[in-house]
Amino acid sequence: MALLTAVELTIWVLEGQIPPPIPVPGVKLGLASVVTLAAMAVLGRREAGCILLLRVILGCLFAGSFSAIIFSLAGGVLSWAVMASLIGLFPEKLLWVVSVFGAIGHNAGQLLAAVAVTKTPGLFWYGPALLTSAIVTGAFTGLGAMYLVRALRKYRERRGF
Amino acid sequence: MKRKTVFWLALFAVLAALGAGTYLLRGVAGRRAVVSVDGEPMRTVDLTAAAVPYEFTVETDYGRNTVRVSQGRIAVVDADCPNRDCVKQGTISDGAIPIVCLPHHLVIQIED
Ligand SMILES: [Zn+2]
What letter represents residue A138's amino acid?
G
Instruction: Tell me how close the Cα of B4 comes to any Cα of chain A, in angstroms.
Output: 8
The mean per-residue pLDDT over the stretch B30-46 comes to: 93
B1 pLDDT band (50/70/90 cuts)? low
Is B18's Cβ below 8 Å from some Cβ in A? yes
0.80 exceeded by pTM: yes
Domain architecture of chain A: domains with CATH: 2-15+29-159 (1.10.1760.20)
Beta-carbon separation of A126 and B82 below 8 A: no
Is B39's Cβ below 8 Å from some Cβ in A? yes
Q: How far does the centroid of ligand 1 lie from the alpha carbon of residue A10, in Å? A: 24
What letter represents residue A66's amino acid?
F
Task: Count CB-CB contacts under 10 A for residue A4.
Answer: 22
- The strand pairing partners of B66, in sequence order, are B57, B78
CA distances from A53 to A48, A76, A79 (A): 9, 8, 12
Tens-digit pLDDT profile for residues A120-150? 998 888 889 889 989 998 998 999 899 888 8
The β-bridge relationship of strands B73-79 and B54-59 is: unpaired
Question: Which strand (E) or helix (H) includes residue B85?
Answer: helix B85-88
pLDDT at residue A25 is higher than 70:
no
pLDDT at residue A31 is higher than 80:
no
DSSP A19: P
Residues 6+ apart with CB under 8 A from A53: A76
- B-chain CB neighbours of A68 within 8 Å are 82-83, 102-103
Domain positions in chain B are 29-111
Class of domain B29-111: mainly beta
Query: How far, in Å, CA of A71 to CA of A62, rounded?
Result: 15
ipTM greater than cut 0.90: no
Instruction: Tell me how close the Cα of B64 comes to any Cα of chain A, in angstroms.
Output: 15
